Amino acid sequence: MEGELALHHEMIVPEWREECGVFGVWAPEQPIAELCYLGLFSLQHRGQESAGIVVTNGMHIDVEKGMGLVTDIFKKRMPSLKAHSGIGHVRYSTVGASLHANIQPIFAYSSEGLISLAHNGSLTNAKNIREQLENEGCIFQTTTDSESILNLIARSTSGTIEEKILDSLKKIEGAYCLTILTGEKLIGVRDPHGFRPLCLGKLSNGGYVISSETCGLDAAEATFIRDILPGEMVVINQAGVKSYFIDKEVKQSSCIFEYIYFARPDSIIDGQNVWQSRFRMGQQLASEYLVEADIVAPVPDTGIAAAIGFSNQSGIPYVEGLIKNRYIGRTFILPDQSSRNAGVKMKLSPVKANLEGKRVVLIDDSIVRGTTSARLISLLREAGAKEVHMCISSPPITDPCYYGIDTSIRKELIAATSTPEEICRFIGADGLHYLSLEGLLHSVNDEKQERMCSSCFDGIYPTDITECQVSEHKAAMEVKK
């Protein structure tokens, strides 16, 4: 069985991947492009495939986009137009392939003038919307689901731009946080489920900032005002900030993986500090899994807070067992499996002096396919670790996500096809323990599961995902049937 298990999972290419980050600034007389750059740099962890900035002075726009990291794209050229507002985007492709044509923000000119849009999330009815628009004669320039939103807005027969957006959003399903730029307004939208985070901040000079995470506000030296609520649209112009709501009553279902892995630990999402949530996950994990060991070591960086929490609760000393190379990004961003395999060794190196002869509790945030965990445990054993007990600060991932995270299909998730005992043997650990779903919800103060989406753990989806089950890969828009 173990040989079959190993062969099966070595053939799998997809990894657990984040989606995107969005940013927007309304600040007349301020350096808009530079503020967008700072915001995107702080949100780089949300997407490392491409980035773009669009700025406007109300009459003209200036655009700069490129494949790669924020620092590489904008070191050659920044939008130079003296502007009053702008939006930016960092991308990891979830719907629409990794192509230059798909770099956001996207923009168009309509009867309302300029409309530019940046999108974080994934629409679950994207194919139906696109086919409907194509049948009506609409021509697409990209293969992203984001362009369907832009076209719906441009083609809406409602009155004001606010009404056009609200009318369009009634037709789409799934996850979306949007920053939208017109000649005179900056608009931020969060879907009614609140799958992805979005917040509002204020600059000291009176300008405003919209960001996927509060770390973006910090980078722009903006003061946090509040989270944009699920189903809310905020409109910013010379008159200030106005709030509207999408006419669609649904249950809030914020992604719990933002707290486990995706968000930066210094961010605050819906009133909860991410680092503290991860610390509590580690404490809860130690309460659920009593083990005799000499040291607790994290898989950096997302395992650090949980490992400190585990050490705090268990009394086992916290030690750095793996050192991260700060000059390499998250391994899931690398374009193919062979690159990701090499990336693990390039990214993490064992500290032999801390590991030799020790019984180690290794803390990580999740196991998707198991191959990375197996390589990490092998590294620890090569460095002389006597035992390695793998502790995961989340439950087993048994189902794919359809709300803006590029995950494997169900049969490619190791926990969906294998028991914990089989996974433990496959990764080569002396013990394996996952945090319970109840313990996870307790750690993020949502014990009744009133506000969180945990579909990747329990298969209970807050929206209809029938279409997604038919097209379960990020390049679905490229495929014509």
Distance of alpha carbon 370 from alpha carbon 368, whole angstroms: 6
DSSP string, 68-97: S-HHHHHTT----S--SEEEEEEE--SSS-
**Residue among 20, 391, 424, 456 flagged as catalytic:** 20
Q: Which two tokens stand for residue 477?
A: 């828009």
Contacts of 212 (CB under 8 A, 6+ apart): 20, 21, 22, 23, 43, 46, 120, 177, 196, 197, 198, 199
DSSP string, 253-285: -EETHIIIIIS-TT-EETTEEHHHHHHHHHHHH
Among 295, 290, 286, 306, which Cα is nearest to 355's?
295
Distance of alpha carbon 235 from alpha carbon 78, whole angstroms: 26
DSSP conformational letter for 289: -
Backbone phi, then psi, for 439, in 5-degree steps? Answer: -65, -35
Distance of alpha carbon 247 from alpha carbon 276, whole angstroms: 34
In 31-145, the DSSP E strands lie at 50-56, 61-67, 85-91, 106-110, 113-123
Cα 27 from chain centroid? Answer: 27
Q: Which two tokens stand for residue 95?
A: 């719907």
Cβ contact 204:215 at 8 Å: no
Task: Respond yes or no: is residue 20 known to be catalytic.
Answer: yes
Among 47, 48, 50, which Cα is nearest to 64's?
50
Distance of alpha carbon 126 from alpha carbon 429, whole angstroms: 41
Among 47, 80, 48, which Cα is nearest to 64's?
80
Cβ contact 90:51 at 8 Å: yes
Cβ contact 14:407 at 8 Å: yes
Residues involved in catalysis: 20
